[in-house]
Structure 1
């Protein structure tokens, strides 16, 4: 059994630094560290077929497919020969991230269909981030089923290549007893192979539960020492 850290990113900016935004300079330092220390990156489609992973394995994920990821993150992935998985909130394709602030004050552009289709599929794996970026625990069974149906309609009508890995919006999903079991049944019914929460710890691989895979939240204020500690240990009380 090996440990597999899965990193979670959101926005990238030349100037901003906050909970959801990593400065470009720091992102490059982090990617350079992974490259210089011989980490191997994988897509979930590859992990599905693997029974064991190399010692220095890692998964890079980006939520929301914002245009700033295309501008800043994709060139760095290419520069350092790294792979990543990008998760799509399908309703917002070609719009902005209005789920963050419905007044429109906080606006990051979401990639268009054309931009998503132009991504190099060998480097960028596309996955699900729900349809409307709502918390699954607040939705009924019918609403969750409808959410998946709408995602599939967008995928089919635009001929998108999307692997059935789902990053839960806000890291949220039903956690208690029967509700949790029922939610996982819905995921299986809709052919979802992996479900990603937050959790802030490296995972044991092979995964114990394919629908409760943990990701480590990388924040704008994280320096390189914090980044290295998070990869090894996850998020601690120290940061």
Structure 2
């Protein structure tokens, strides 16, 4: 089995750097490192068709489909010829990341329908990040199902091309007993093929559980050394 790190980014910015925001300079340095070390990026739709992957494979993911990703991340992805997945919280399209209220972060614009439809699908694969960015563990089965129905209405009404991979908001999902099994059945009934938690460890590929795929959180404070260590080992207790 091969090792597959899946990196999780949020905002990319030229004026700030924090837990949820990586500077343009750091992102460029990180992508340059991946390019120099011959990493290959993949979309989840490609992984679903593969039984094995090259030794140096990696997946780049960006949560929330913010406008700053369009402005700053996509030009760097193009520069290094890398692919990435962007995950959309559908209620907030064309608005701001209102769920951040009370966390001390500045508001970020979410891409509009027109901006999302204008993305190069060979470069950017779009996926689900729920409708209202709520924690699934706090929702009933009916509320989760309604969340999917609302997502589908936005997708159908606007002709969006979305691959059925879901990044759980906050990495959160029901983890115990019947609620966990029921949650997975809801995902399956809504044709979701892959579900992404956080976990902060590289995956083994093929995935052991398609609905508990781990991602590694890349933060604005991470040095290049920490970035290199995270790709190899995940999050360590050292940082």
Q: TM-score by structure 1 length?
A: 0.98
Identify the residue that residue 63 of structure 1 maps to in structure 2. 63
Structure 1 residues not aligned, in runs of 5+: none
Secondary structure at the aligned position of 1:115 is classed as helix
Query: 1:98–1:106: 8 Å Cα contact kept in structure 2?
Result: no
Q: CA RMSD in A?
A: 1.2
**Which residues of 2 match residues 55-204 of structure 1 at below 5 A?**
55-101=55-101, 106-204=106-204
Distance 1:214 1:46 in 2: 17
Tell me how many residue pairs correspond in the alignment.
Answer: 239
Q: How far did residue 36 of structure 1 move? A: 1.0
1:167-225 deviation per Cα after TM superposition (whole angstroms, max 9, x unaligned): 00000000012111111011001000000000000001000000000000000000101
Secondary structure at the aligned position of 2:87 is classed as strand
Structure 2 residues not aligned, in runs of 5+: none
Identify the residue that residue 218 of structure 1 maps to in structure 2. 218
Distance 1:33 1:152 in 2: 38
Secondary structure at the aligned position of 2:31 is classed as helix
Distance 2:203 2:164 in 1: 19
Distance 2:104 2:214 in 1: 30
Deviates more, 1:93-102 or 1:161-170: 93-102
Q: TM-score by structure 2 length?
A: 0.98
Secondary structure at the aligned position of 2:62 is classed as strand
Q: How far did residue 104 of structure 1 move? A: 9.9
Q: How far did residue 107 of structure 1 move? A: 1.1
Distance 1:221 1:105 in 2: 15
Distance 1:207 1:93 in 2: 31
Does residue 206 of the first structure (1) align with residue 206 of the second (2)? Answer: yes
Distance 1:104 1:97 in 2: 12
Secondary structure at the aligned position of 1:120 is classed as coil
